[in-house]
Amino acid sequence: MRESRLMLVQYATAVAAVALVSLHLIMQGVIYPYATAISFNNILSVYRNGFYAIFLEALLVVVLVHGFNGVRIILKEFRQSKPWNMWVDAGTVLAIVVTVAYGTRTVILAVFGGTA
Amino acid sequence: MAVGEERAKNRRGIRGWLDPYHYNAERWAYLFQRVTGVAILLYVLGHLGDTSFFVGGPTGTGPSPSAWKFIGSIFENSFGHLILILVVLVVFFHGINGIRLILAEFGLILRKPSAIEYPYKPKGLGQGQRILIYVAIVVAVAAAVWAFLVLFEGMG
């Protein structure tokens, strides 16, 4: 993908992250008191509400794409060469895939897994 | 300046970030945007790890009250709450300063172009951008105070 497109991805995920992170923080300290928000039963009910499960998955993808693409941009500011660009791009994609997969696993197990 | 010197000057890498010589508000905002971005990403990776304990950690198979209680015993203390307050502080700064950068990128808050005049001093950002930088700082501090009240005073 062209760098100009990747910058647009960075801006789009930034705007989405501002909205999603704001809602996430409001849920943790405004809608519920913090102690209630992090209680096991409350988190389970949040995950098992379809809307919030999708919201948390979207938050995961948006923040990780924005974060790793941001690091990619910083690394390319430091140095420019064809092999460096290739390794940075490949590392970014790999990091996004691995971390999104791990976070998605948590969401899926929380939604569908049996309580231990 | 010789080509080699010019190249070395332009390739200072992270030393360029940490050398505040001739920094102005915009340059500090540039530095903090990158430092806070990396810090937030590191926090998010840690948060991915700790929230995975809700389902028993890396080898878990479903929601686990005991694993969640275990991870809570590690992070739910004054030190953990202090980290969360710092995270709130940098997230709000990064978010609002990031909105400023996006508005500038699309040309919405740029000052009007003007002729280059002697003594050729670089012109700073327009008032709109300066105000947004200060708004980012004020809102970030206010959010950190709010986080302190929620985490240490039981408000929220």
Phi and psi torsions of B13, nearest 5°: 60, -135
Where do the domains of chain B lie, and which CATH numbers do they carry?
33-111+118-152 (1.20.1300.10)
Residue B73 in tokens: 């015993």
Q: Which residues contact A105 (CB under 8 A, 6 or more apart)?
A: B52, B55
What string of DSSP letters covers A10-36?
Answer: HHHHHHHHHHHHHHHHHIIIIIS-HHH
Confidence grade of residue B1 (pLDDT, cut at 50, 70, 90): low
**Token match 């080898």: residue?**
B59
Q: Which of A29, A106, A114 has the CB atom closest to B54's CB atom?
A: A106
Total-model pTM: 0.89
Tell me the average pLDDT across B97-120: 83
Nearest residue on chain B to A115, alpha-carbon basis: B63
Q: Please tell me the distance in Å from A50's CA to the nearest CA on chain B.
A: 16
As a CATH number, domain A3-112 is 1.20.1300.10
Q: Is the pLDDT of residue B156 over 60?
A: no
Q: Is pLDDT larger for residue B117 or for residue A66?
A: A66
- In this predicted model, what pLDDT tens digit does every residue of A71-110 receive, in sequence order? 999 999 888 899 999 999 999 999 999 999 999 999 999 9
Tell me the average pLDDT across A25-46: 89
Q: Which of A25, A64, A78 has the CB atom closest to B44's CB atom?
A: A64
Q: Chain centroid to CA B136: how far?
A: 10
